[in-house]
Amino acid sequence: MKKPNVIIIYADDLGYGDLSCYGAEDINTPNIDNLLENGIKFTNAYSTSAVCTPARYSIITGEYPFRNEYTKILPGNAKCIIDTDVYTLPKMFKTAGYNTAVIGKWHLGLSDGDINWNGQITKTPNDLGFDYSFIFPGTNDRVPLVYIKNRQIYNLDPNDPIEVCYQMKCPFENEIDTYENSPEKIVMESSMGHNRSLINGIGRIGFMRGGKSAIWKDDELSETFLGEVKNFIDEKRDKPFFIYYALHQPHVPRVPSARFKGATALGPRGDVIVELDWCIGELTSYLRENNLLDDTIIIFSSDNGPVLNDGYDDKAYELNKNHRPAGPLRGGKYSKFDGGARVPFILSWSNNISKAESPALLSQVDLMNSFANMLDISLDKYDAKDSQNMIDVLLGKTIVGRPSLVFESGKKIRILRRGKWAYLQPSEGEEIIPIVLNETGNSLNDQLYNMDYDISQRINVADQYPQIVESMKQELEQILQSTHTRKKSI
Ligand code: NG6
Ligand code: CA
């Protein structure tokens, strides 16, 4: 069989209810919906975490995030949390003869210690199996606001070096525009914490100075990344290609490009989702025009659930009206409820897949083992340890998915989903995150929900089913405790 190209499109904070094909009525996403003409809509697919870094870690390594102590939301100057000897998803595609690229948000750290921002950066995605990388290091709300192309900051003027600082008090904070010293330049108000460097009129987490020519414009991010994806395809189609296309939408700060301002009545959050949908339309048209669509598997998903106010007063709450970003699910980003990690998940393959909906239980951590199977690569038992072979599920040959899966909340509390049951570990803490207003799912008691009857997780039935609670606790404990000695590569 000719090896198909594979593109994983990964949105940032897009909820289970944010697409029209998943029930949204106030946001229209025709291009993503169109993927379903030859695609499968999964209704029980999960990322491994209700926040970003851990979920992304699982895609790249095939491991649950709790196997690595550094899988928490990383600052923009964090060191790389994946060792170069780990056999990763892109390395696997390379083994199979693919050209590989990551384009978009990275958020898995760089280098082994201090990052050499003004020179050659060590330990980039290029050391983890990507032939080409064009990324931003953290999130769009934290410094540095620059692209990194392979091992260097893109467009950096050597006469204007860049400095990045994540201390509470930064030695150069009086010499740059900050939220405090230049309030007249603010174009988007912070609602919590995003009040350090003021760049493009928006407060960010962390301080940076210099690097003026390299700083991105928020409203150009989508076109830049899309252009990079098209270029890579154009240049690298001599062999099959694997692209991990990690878009920044609809993560805060939400700054749509001019043509999408006002695309919805929901304000910037709705508008950037329509912009994201446009990117997918552009990409599929490009593949079609280049006769590549029939040879390309497209996966579309999101790293974690939705959030309305995640740091800026952009009216997401006030304008949200009846839209339900998590659809019927309870909670959202950071949450232990399903709204935290059950996300849209579509696999589309023109001419090869018939339109279908699949209720199979599926985790994003399974991508590595599933593609290993498709590519006839045998994984070592230490590689992609938590990844299960779901290729038949992904390609719609069966709807029998995993027996169970684990995901974690923003605070690393674990949830076991097994069959129709969801078990949430007890945890201390607030029930609702202040300002963000997402429900955390925190409770000092065990929680058990029957997802067949109670998708919105309103009725805790732990007291009625003590044996199920007990056996799910034990299974979770076993998964968490399973040892993990990695074979060192040569
Ligand atoms: C949180 C930020 C939030 C967002 C998130 C990362 C504050 C108060 N909140 O710490 O704005 O940046 O980290 O999002 O700073 S994620 O999608 O990358 O996980
Ligand atoms: Ca995210």
Atom 17 in ligand 1: residue holding the nearest Cα: 52
| Closest-lying ligand 1 atom to the alpha carbon of residue 141 | 12
The whole-angstrom separation of Cα 240 and Cα 131 is 13
Cβ proximity of 331 and 339 under 8 Å: yes
| Closest-lying ligand 1 atom to the alpha carbon of residue 73 | 19
Cβ proximity of 145 and 199 under 8 Å: yes
Mean pLDDT of 37-66: 98
pLDDT of residue 490: 34
Mean pLDDT of 19-33: 98
Give me 298's structure tokens.
């497209």
Q: Choose which residue among 13, 139, 251, 304 to substitute to test ligand 1 binding: the one with the highest number of ligand atoms within 8 A of its C-beta.
A: 139
The answer on pLDDT for 301 being more than 50 is yes
Task: Quote the ligand 1 centre to 251 CA distance (angstroms).
Answer: 9
Of the bound ligands, which one is closest to the alpha carbon of residue 51?
1
pLDDT of residue 484: 60
If one compares 484 and 53, the residue with the highest pLDDT of the two is 53
Strands 241-246 vs 99-105: parallel, antiparallel or unpaired: parallel
The whole-angstrom separation of Cα 76 and Cα 439 is 27
If pLDDT is split at 50, 70 and 90, which confidence band does 482 have?
Answer: confident
Mean pLDDT of 92-121: 97
Alpha-carbon distances of 185 from 180, 181, 203, rounded to whole Å: 10, 9, 10
Mean pLDDT of 109-117: 96
Cβ proximity of 325 and 15 under 8 Å: yes
Read off the pLDDT of residues 455-481 as tens digits, 9 standing for 90 and up. 999 999 999 999 999 999 999 999 999
Atom 19 in ligand 1: residue holding the nearest Cα: 52
pLDDT of residue 488: 45
Q: Choose which residue among 12, 47, 48, 52 to substitute to test ligand 1 binding: the one with the highest number of ligand atoms within 8 A of its C-beta.
A: 52
Cβ proximity of 250 and 11 under 8 Å: yes
Task: Quote the ligand 2 centre to 18 CA distance (angstroms).
Answer: 14
If pLDDT is split at 50, 70 and 90, which confidence band does 177 have?
Answer: very high
Atom 8 in ligand 1: residue holding the nearest Cα: 193
Task: Quote the ligand 1 centre to 310 CA distance (angstroms).
Answer: 7
**In this structure, which residues have their CB less than 5 angstroms from ion ligand 2?**
12-13, 52, 303-304
Read off the pLDDT of residues 345-362 as tens digits, 9 standing for 90 and up. 999 999 999 999 999 999
Is it true that the peptide bond before 256 is cis, omega within 30 degrees of 0? no
The answer on pLDDT for 487 being more than 80 is no
Mean pLDDT of 280-287: 98
User: What's the half-sphere exposure (Cβ side, CA atoms, 13 Å) at 92?
Assistant: 25
Length of the chain (residues): 490
pTM of the model: 0.98
Of the bound ligands, which one is closest to the alpha carbon of residue 107?
1
Those residues whose C-beta lies under 8 Å from the C-beta of residue 40, and which sit 6 or more positions away, are 346, 347, 348, 353, 355, 356, 357, 358, 394, 395, 396
Sign (positive/negative) of CA torsion 122, 127, 128, 131? Answer: positive
Q: Which of 165, 145, 133, 350 is nearest to 246 (CA)?
A: 133
State the DSSP string of 423-475: EE----S-SB-TTT--B----SS-EEEETTT-TT-----TTT-HHHHHHHHHH
Mean pLDDT of 265-288: 98
Atom 7 in ligand 1: residue holding the nearest Cα: 193
Of the bound ligands, which one is closest to the alpha carbon of residue 47?
2
Alpha-carbon distances of 381 from 54, 196, 402, rounded to whole Å: 21, 45, 18
The set of protein residues with a Cβ atom below 6 angstroms from ligand 1 is 12-13, 51-52, 73, 107, 139, 141, 192-193, 205, 251-252, 304, 310-311
| Closest-lying ligand 1 atom to the alpha carbon of residue 192 | 8
The whole-angstrom separation of Cα 68 and Cα 54 is 9
pLDDT of residue 214: 98
Mean pLDDT of 388-399: 98
The whole-angstrom separation of Cα 312 and Cα 436 is 10
Cβ proximity of 19 and 42 under 8 Å: no
Task: Quote the ligand 1 centre to 205 CA distance (angstroms).
Answer: 9
Of the bound ligands, which one is closest to the alpha carbon of residue 74?
1
pLDDT of residue 1: 72
In this structure, the number of other CB atoms found within 10 A of the CB of residue 283 comes to: 22
To which H or E segment does residue 316 belong? helix 316-320
The answer on pLDDT for 208 being more than 50 is yes
The answer on pLDDT for 485 being more than 60 is no
Read off the pLDDT of residues 380-393 as tens digits, 9 standing for 90 and up. 988 999 999 999 99
Of the bound ligands, which one is closest to the alpha carbon of residue 12?
2
Give me 314's structure tokens.
């952009």
| Closest-lying ligand 1 atom to the alpha carbon of residue 107 | 18
The whole-angstrom separation of Cα 62 and Cα 365 is 5
Q: Specify burial of residue 404 (Cβ count, 10 A radius: 0-12, 13-18, 19+).
A: middle
- The mean pLDDT value of the chain amounts to 96
